Homo-oligomer: A and B are copies of this chain.
Amino acid sequence: MVRGRISRLSVRDVRFPTSLGGHGADAMHTDPDYSAAYVVIETDAEDGIKGCGITFTLGKGTEVVVCAVNALAHHVLNKDLKDIVGDFRGFYRQLTSDGQLRWIGPEKGVVHLATAAVLNAVWDLWAKQEGKPVWKLLVDMDPRMLVSCIDFRYITDVLTEEDALEKQMLAQGYPAYTTSCAWLGYSDDTLKQLCAQALKDGWTRFKVKVGADLQDDMRRCQIIRDMIGPEKTLMMDANQRWDVPEAVEWMSKLAKFKPLWIEEPTSPDDILGHATISKALVPLGIGIATGEQCHNRVIFKQLLQAKALQFLQIDSCRLGSVNENLSVLLMAKKFEIPVCPHAGGVGLCELVQHLIIFDYISVSASLENRVCEYVDHLHEHFKYPVMIQRASYMPPKDPGYSTEMKEESVKKHQYPDGEVWKKLLPAQEN
């Protein structure tokens, strides 16, 4: 049973110096240090249960998100968890519609990332108290309760509460793909070696980063397609590098490598641009995927309305936690577009597996064209890391939202005073 009053909220700036190895590099983010604003909330229930929530960042600026979490804290502190989840829509709106704070969003960028971190912690706390993983909490939830978690503001023209209730349906490892082989920062040799290993491990779907240099892309795509053969799936990801005409032109040249999709061909804000690109590339057999930087449900609503994408990539930390992701899953179902989540950053795989398993069991009831990103990075810092078997996510069984970090890891990577950064920072300054 839900219990306790939120008595403490702490937030820490945790950074992993991944840029040192070229991990995670793409056409727009050349030197990411995979990082997180890590929120822990405690209650006065004296059961020792803490809610842990993160939002994913790339290093610099994490301190800004931390600052925003602190700005939101007063909405959470001294609230009964029962009251929060009893009117989760109201609580969500309180966080996102604070009359003063919403100006610096609204519902986007830093404040929305901070909102996600805070709400992710609330969901973790709730699920742990119920003794269930988040996906199971959702699957077991009374549909009315589930729908009451969603703020329908600005989306009622495509999805109403009644509508959402009808969409609730029931059905019964979720397929994954790997992005670990082909970051832009890797040499051809590293790429070949990682690809060979991934094939040995049973992976059948591979994503390659493109967009910085066409000749490089041609060479790298050729290498991968040669290695994986014509049957296995290849996805491409441009990380917003192109303008609209450029995206069409560039991808027309990469079409011969038979990519399933091109991901983030242009600005995540450009709905009509994605629609134009989609119209040009779908006849070449290439779908459009986007979402990891789409900042709220209103953008997803329009991408669906405009037929601007063929694969929808929710992000567990960019949107306002489970609550807002639920609204997007339901809209995707209505428009019959498969959801293929973004993952891979710090804790994103851990979080999003809950959403996608719920989507499969209770919303889409289908695996067709559905696949969830996987990156084999940084899982060792989590208490309940994802389990991948035969290239599939195995449903997590531990209570909560799987993002509790090992205290040891947090301490070591806290920025700028953790052991790792104390060593690295003076070296970087020289």
Give A residues with C-beta under 8 Å from B.
Answer: 28-33, 57-65, 67-68, 71, 97-113, 152-157, 240, 243-246, 266-273, 276, 293, 295-296, 298-299, 301-302, 305-306
A111, A276, A296 pick with most chain B CB within 10 angstroms: A111
Between A and B, 21 residue pairs with Cβ closer than 8 Å are A29-B100, A31-B100, A58-B99, A58-B104, A59-B100, A60-B100, A60-B101, A61-B100, A61-B101, A61-B111, A64-B104, A64-B110, A64-B111, A104-B110, A109-B110, A110-B110, A155-B243, A269-B298, A271-B302, A272-B305, A273-B298
Query: Chain B residues with Cβ under 8 A from A103's Cβ?
Result: 29, 32, 57-58, 61, 293
Q: Decide: B31 and A99 in contact? CB cutoff 8 A.
A: yes
Q: Known contacts being A58-B99, A58-B100, is A293 close to B106, with CB within 8 Å?
A: yes
Q: How far is the CB of A74 from chain B (nearest CB, A)?
A: 9
In chain B, what residue has the closest Cβ to A98?
A: B60
Q: Known contacts being A109-B110, A156-B244, A157-B276, is A99 close to B64, with CB within 8 Å?
A: no
In chain B, what residue has the closest Cβ to A248?
A: B157
Q: How far is the CB of A342 from chain B (nearest CB, A)?
A: 12
Q: How far is the CA of A392 from the CA of B341 in the complex (A)?
A: 52
Q: Decide: A111 and B108 in contact? CB cutoff 8 A.
A: no
Query: Chain B residues with Cβ under 8 A from A156's Cβ?
Result: 243-246
Q: Known contacts being A28-B99, A100-B31, is A108 close to B154, with CB within 8 Å?
A: no
Query: Chain B residues with Cβ under 8 A from A29's Cβ?
Result: 99-100, 102-103
Query: Chain B residues with Cβ under 8 A from A152's Cβ?
Result: 243
Q: How far is the CB of A289 from chain B (nearest CB, A)?
A: 18
Q: Decide: B97 and A28 in contact? CB cutoff 8 A.
A: yes
Query: Chain B residues with Cβ under 8 A from A157's Cβ?
Result: 243-245, 273, 276
Closest 3 CB pairs of A and B: A109-B109, A110-B110, A60-B100
